[in-house]
Structure 1
Amino acid sequence: MSDTHAESVAFVRETALPPTAPPMAASGPVLWARTNLFATWPNAILSIAAAYVIYLILAATLPWMLNGVWTADSLRGCREVLDGTSGACFSVLTERWNQLLFGFNYPSELYWRPTLAFVLLFVAAAPVLFFDLPRKLLIFTGLYPFLAYWLIWGGTIFIPLVALIGVIVGYAVYDRLVKRNFALGFFSGIAAAAVVWWIGGALIEQFAFGAPMMEEIASRNLGGFMLNMMLGVTCVSLSLPIGVALALGRQSSLPVVKMICVVFIEFIRGVPLITLLFVANVMLAYFFPPGSGVDLFLRVVIMITMFSAAYIAEVIRGGLAALPKGQYEAADSLGLDYAQSMRLIILPQALKISIPGIVNIAVGLFKDTTLVSVISLFDIVGMIRGPILASTDWAGVYWELFMFAGGMFFIVCYGISQYSQWLERRLATDHR
């Protein structure tokens, strides 16, 4: 080929040009702002107005917070340090943190016990919340409630052991009767466990098995945010299975079981929670055997659990109603009995549909635990309104204390919300 002909052939590049960065308006923060904040004129106006409101709030609060005092021993000491300038008195948090978290009667040398129970809570909840973990960890999950009880309340080890035996007996009764009817087996199991607990408690009190292995703490000495966490975790954990049983019992073919569940759900949902708490404080003890001395904390747990279970039952009933009839027919065609069809086919789908409603009730229940302050249980709000603000050193400090309480509740509720969203994505609740 001649040189002249070679020069007339078009040049073909053998290597690709290096990629260039996209324009600023087509990527990064600029693209995000154009898409989410200024996509339309109404969106742009609302974004600017919201930014201005946020600026006003921060301009008023940031100097007050950044100028806060952390080392004074009273409100008067904060004012002396501030010397007429505006600033927060965060010293109340550093001075009374132990009362805000543990109450004012829980012995300070025993703070390690509820702290250890709180840390172990995450270990126990992990295999339930994240189902990819080994199933063997569920053994510790089942033992955790009895271990946590012993750590927080102390006393003899025989009390949580009797409670564990009662749960085992109750499960055996449930497993025997659940094939006939889920609600019948569930409530029969609860009744059997309650009988074992009552007999075991009477035997422990009668024969005084062993001396306390740890210093015993009365429920009246529990308080602070620890009490809110204990009520929230306990009541949510108990109300979910009871709510499932009530929802299935309301659809039961047994007229007596159905009537009991309907009356219970409608009555509880028609009564305010604060009324039930007053009932727990004043009247519920009359329903127990004379001289049993049922603890106020237990009575409050029973009432809050009943309240939450009634609402969860309706949420789950909605999930059951959303399932097509073909799912029930598919279970029958596979030859599954009632318990197997509910456990393997019906309930997993109904619970997935019900996740947003259940989480909404759990968040509301956790915040409603502050209502126990009206019956003289000093949770974190009760501690603020009672001993802390009643003291002459901190009378008049409001914003700092309630901001701390609100922050603690926000952390827990936000964590629950984020976990529920992750769970929905993981389980593909939208059936994509």
Structure 2
Amino acid sequence: MTDVSFVRTEMLPEQAPPPTAAGAIGWARQNLFSGWFNTLLTLASLAVVYYVLAAIVPWILSPTFSGTSLSQCREMLAAAGQEAGHGGGACWGVIRERWIQLMFGFYPNHLYWRPIAAFVLLAVALAPILFSDKVPAKLIWFSAAYPFIFPWLLWGGTVWGPLSAAGGFVIGFLVYRFVSQSMSELLGLIGGVLAALIWWLLLSGIAVSALDSILPLGLEPVESRKFGGFMLSITIGIVAIACSLPLGIVMALGRQSDLMIVKYLCVGFIEFIRGVPLITLLFVASTLLNIFMPPGTNFDIILRVLIMVTLFATAYMAEVIRGGLAALPKGQYEGADSLGLTYWQAQRLIIMPQALKISIPGIVSTFIGVFKDTTLVSIIGLLDPLGLSNAIRADANWNGIVWELYGFIALLFFVFCFGMSRYSMYLERKLQTGHR
């Protein structure tokens, strides 16, 4: 019998895949035209997209950027063969003329550098917190100092005010260290808080007045009523976000505490705040808080709003973090006990890092909701972007403008909220330790 077996001694060269199975054509066949039903849906979706873009793109690209009034915009659109209004072309002259006001409100023109510097420095201060592995570690000291620089740049006044506020934290920390080492950690915490409050409420004003009389250093003061636009929204949002997270952690831990008084105080606060609309709290901040203050007390309106928005966000943040704590298996707590860690050491090193990682989507969703809720301050007379849009439309030149202003405001809010959402996804990928 003849042996006809054959073994190839060389590899055949690779052949390119069929053109219909690779590249854009292959992706389209797999994802858009994989069957008759998907093909039908794809064609219908393309028709809808074309219809929407055919209506929106000409409206956006209207040649009215140089217009100085709605009537002039209509004349420019008529000359270009477009109809003014929602069905024709936009009047972008209002954005060109009023975008500064939408950004800064009625903040003095010659002091625009101060909010710009404050928000640029905000990015620097956030860098070591958001991207700790990509920036110098020593920059965290500037992040710690920034909460005192930020209000001083925006409101101005003597430099001794923020330094005195920072001094309260230093005094509280020193008292905490001394008492916790000589007595107990709980008494040290209580003593530190009381010492800081005594300094801020009773001694800080005297110290600031004395230092300012000896060495007057400061910036030109700016009244809160001149704040407005996105500067006001970002200020309220930043303060509420920065303060609600640590307060929410404290409230979540307090709600799970074995101390009955602490637990029920935290439960009462959380349930009350979550059961009341934010607009009600803002009305309380605007009208009722001054009734309970001593006669002649000047309680800044923005400070009142900041307190109420922060408390509102804290209640929701506490429930988000409590969900993260509840998601941890019991073995994590038992492991911390087996290592001989104290309660606060276990929370700092084992429990809270895992709970916060689990809670990242909920935390960022709360942040986004708080930032969008800053538009409610227009109800109590503060001129946020929506409040300013009403004032702009009251101008005879721009009476009738709606879509352009609201579209511009919506775009800026979307940029901020989308950025927070993207960072949330980046942080989840960075901290992912399990297997998918």
Matches within 5 A, 1:71-110: 71-83=66-78, 85-86=82-83, 87-103=89-105, 105-110=106-111
User: Which string of whole-angstrom CA distances, capped at 9 and with x for unpartnered residues, describes residues 95-133 of structure 1?
Assistant: 011100000x21111111101111111110011011213
User: Which string of whole-angstrom CA distances, capped at 9 and with x for unpartnered residues, describes residues 303-347 of structure 1?
Assistant: 001000100100111110111111001001111101110000000
For 1:164, the aligned partner's letter is A
Q: Take 2:253 and 2:433, find their aligned partners in 1: how far apart are those partners?
A: 21
CA contact 2:118–2:153 (8 Å) conserved in 1: yes
Partner of 2:396: 392
Partner of 1:113: 114
Partner of 2:150: 148
Select 1:413's aligned residue among 399, 417, 421.
417
With the length of structure 1 as denominator, give the TM-score of the two structures: 0.90
State the 1:217 CA deviation. Answer: 0.5
Matches within 5 A, 1:346-357: 346-357=351-362
Greater alpha carbon shift after TM alignment, 127-136 vs 78-87: 78-87
State the 1:222 CA deviation. Answer: 0.6
State the 1:160 CA deviation. Answer: 0.8
Q: Take 2:299 and 2:369, find their aligned partners in 1: how far apart are those partners?
A: 27
Matches within 5 A, 1:225-244: 225-244=230-249
Partner of 1:266: 271
CA contact 1:181–1:339 (8 Å) conserved in 2: no
State the 1:194 CA deviation. Answer: 3.8
Partner of 1:158: 160
In structure 2, the CA distance between the partners of 1:38 and 1:319, relative to structure 1 (3 Å rule), is farther
In structure 2, the CA distance between the partners of 1:26 and 1:159, relative to structure 1 (3 Å rule), is same
In structure 2, the CA distance between the partners of 1:44 and 1:258, relative to structure 1 (3 Å rule), is farther
Matches within 5 A, 1:30-429: 30-39=25-34, 41-83=36-78, 85-86=82-83, 87-103=89-105, 105-132=106-133, 133-172=135-174, 192-203=195-206, 207=210, 209=213, 210-211=215-216, 213-385=218-390, 387-428=391-432
CA contact 1:372–1:379 (8 Å) conserved in 2: yes
With the length of structure 2 as denominator, give the TM-score of the two structures: 0.89
State the 1:22 CA deviation. Answer: 2.6
In structure 2, the CA distance between the partners of 1:185 and 1:89, relative to structure 1 (3 Å rule), is farther
Q: Take 1:49 and 1:190, find their aligned partners in 2: how far apart are those partners?
A: 63
CA contact 1:181–1:338 (8 Å) conserved in 2: no
For 2:59, the aligned partner's letter is W
Aligned residues with identical type, % of pairs: 52
User: Which string of whole-angstrom CA distances, capped at 9 and with x for unpartnered residues, describes residues 183-208 of structure 1?
Assistant: x9778755543432223553267555
State the 1:212 CA deviation. Answer: 5.5
| Secondary structure of the corresponding residue to residue 294 of structure 1 | coil
Partner of 1:5: none
CA contact 1:280–1:303 (8 Å) conserved in 2: yes
Q: Take 2:208 and 2:109, find their aligned partners in 1: how far apart are those partners?
A: 29
- What CA RMSD, in Å, does the superposition of the two structures yield over aligned residues? 2.6
In structure 2, the CA distance between the partners of 1:49 and 1:32, relative to structure 1 (3 Å rule), is same
User: Which string of whole-angstrom CA distances, capped at 9 and with x for unpartnered residues, describes residues 368-397 of structure 1?
Assistant: 000000011101111101x21111111111
User: Which string of whole-angstrom CA distances, capped at 9 and with x for unpartnered residues, describes residues 374-427 of structure 1?
Assistant: 011101111101x21111111111111111100000000000000000100110
In structure 2, the CA distance between the partners of 1:156 and 1:206, relative to structure 1 (3 Å rule), is closer
Q: Take 1:137 and 1:374, find their aligned partners in 2: how far apart are those partners?
A: 39
User: Which string of whole-angstrom CA distances, capped at 9 and with x for unpartnered residues, describes residues 2-59 of structure 1?
Assistant: xxxxxxx99854x873x44332333222233334334455544433333222211111
For 1:109, the aligned partner's letter is H
| Secondary structure of the corresponding residue to residue 299 of structure 2 | coil
Q: Take 1:294 and 1:327, find their aligned partners in 2: how far apart are those partners?
A: 46
In structure 2, the CA distance between the partners of 1:31 and 1:203, relative to structure 1 (3 Å rule), is farther
Q: Take 1:297 and 1:335, find their aligned partners in 2: how far apart are those partners?
A: 46
| Secondary structure of the corresponding residue to residue 253 of structure 1 | coil
CA contact 1:186–1:245 (8 Å) conserved in 2: no
CA contact 1:352–1:429 (8 Å) conserved in 2: no
Q: Take 1:247 and 1:428, find their aligned partners in 2: how far apart are those partners?
A: 24
CA contact 2:63–2:76 (8 Å) conserved in 1: no
Q: Take 2:188 and 2:414, find their aligned partners in 1: how far apart are those partners?
A: 38
Number of positions where the alignment pairs a residue of Structure 1 with one of Structure 2: 420
For 1:85, the aligned partner's letter is Q
Q: Take 1:122 and 1:198, find their aligned partners in 2: how far apart are those partners?
A: 31
Q: Take 2:8 and 2:209, find their aligned partners in 1: how far apart are those partners?
A: 102
In structure 2, the CA distance between the partners of 1:201 and 1:287, relative to structure 1 (3 Å rule), is farther
State the 1:136 CA deviation. Answer: 1.3
Structure 1 runs not aligned, ≥5 long? 1-8
| Secondary structure of the corresponding residue to residue 398 of structure 2 | coil
